Structure 1
């Protein structure tokens, strides 16, 4: 009997974790550059314990691997909106000056003169430093990630290079989601710089979550949960009948 209960509870745990993933995807369906996670993985482990023989049971482990499938490109015409695609990622500096990665390209110029992504992190240059923009400077970003600028109202008519955005070429099998929503390599090593950065200016990448697919998955998980509840109810009924039969035969 406990085998049936164990299997059902393991199934419920998997469903609960998957529902959390789907809920997060739905909440971020409109978030710039958002990437969904791959579904949780199931592994089999051996359990030993008093009162029952050793057995192998399925154990669900959450996956923090990121699906880099491109989202829809949205033209904005704004010079500080950029997008990359494929396996390329934008490098940012965290609060403790570590390099992490993102696909958010909705850049803003902070009060401190630093370029930041929409979630607040500082955009990183190819020298692993923040990108500082001089005051009263008109800027644009080239297809190779070079940040160009010229003084507003000045005599200069040619944009001069200020810095170059660090664009990484990620190994899609190693891109992991951090607790802060940024990405890193699963081996905690920096990704290599992209040999040919492809930065699209005046555009943003949308989320790669399909709301329709996410809702279908949520309905499927709801039905699976109902099935597991029925299994537990049947296990309880069988236990009661077994106890009744034991009392009758005494």
Structure 2
């Protein structure tokens, strides 16, 4: 009886769905986190009577046929790259992106990673780094005697030197991708380029469709708690219904085995 195995695929798929939802809820307050959504696909079909086949010498054909499906599978867990809400902070090195783009981060092995998490700090050399100490690709170093760090909406970084003069230190660039959902999440709020995402396009904030940056703000996760709870309830009910199908199939097996 195929129903037993078909319902099992449904339970497994909903188990994966709940795992993704739980990760979204766990990252409800993670800076720059992008929620995931599970995409399902049906499995192969068994053709008991193929549509379009001829049923007589006169050329009459089967209009619909008989197909029995074999269940469901998880096809993708796509990242939804919509804008998260901006939350104001008191840290002058907190930067949020409003619109398209990612900050570029240099990993210890020289690989470039990308993030929407703009909670930056300074290392001992005055270089802009992430909370894990990874350098932000900007080439900007803040002098030890620099004061009143200002980051404008186009990414320009300025300070006031001891003489009271405004000094321009450079500009923070952003990267964007044709298919940003094709980026690979690797943890630590970081994404890596893949063949699916395409090569990054790099430019200054505010140019040619790039978003601008907001100092003293951080982008929160784009997770809506109410939506996640509703999805969780739906997944739970779907799991229960598939378990009921397995119980019904088992009872039918039991009835068959008791025939004399």
Could you say which TM-score interval applies, normalised by the shorter chain?
0.7 to 0.9
Cα distance in 2 for residues equivalent to 1:42 and 1:32: 31
Of the three residues 109, 114, 117, the one matched with 2:122 is 109
Aligned to 1:86: 99
Task: Please give the root-mean-square deviation of Cα atoms over the aligned residues, in Å.
Answer: 2.5
| 1:1-250 correspondence runs (5 A) | 1=1, 3-42=2-41, 44-45=43-44, 57-63=71-77, 65-118=78-131, 120-125=133-138, 131-138=140-147, 139-151=149-161, 154-158=162-166, 160-172=167-179, 174-180=181-187, 181-187=189-195, 189-194=198-203, 196=207, 197=210, 198-245=212-259, 248=260
- Structure 1: gaps spanning 5 or more residues: 48-53
Cα distance in 2 for residues equivalent to 1:21 and 1:133: 40
Note the C-alpha offset of 1:57: 4.5
Cα distance in 1 for residues equivalent to 2:229 and 2:22: 9
- Verify the 8 A CA contact 2:42 2:69 in the aligned structure 1: no
TM-score by length of 2: 0.79
- Please give the secondary structure, in 2, of the residue aligned with 1:178: strand
- Please give the secondary structure, in 2, of the residue aligned with 1:104: coil
Cα distance in 2 for residues equivalent to 1:215 and 1:119: 32
Larger Rg: 2
The verdict on how the C-alpha distance between 1:235 and 1:56 changes in structure 2, with shifts beyond 3 A counting, is: closer
- Please give the secondary structure, in 1, of the residue aligned with 2:258: helix
* Deviations 1:74-124 (CA, angstroms, capped at 9, x unpaired): 222432111113321111112212111111111111345331234553211
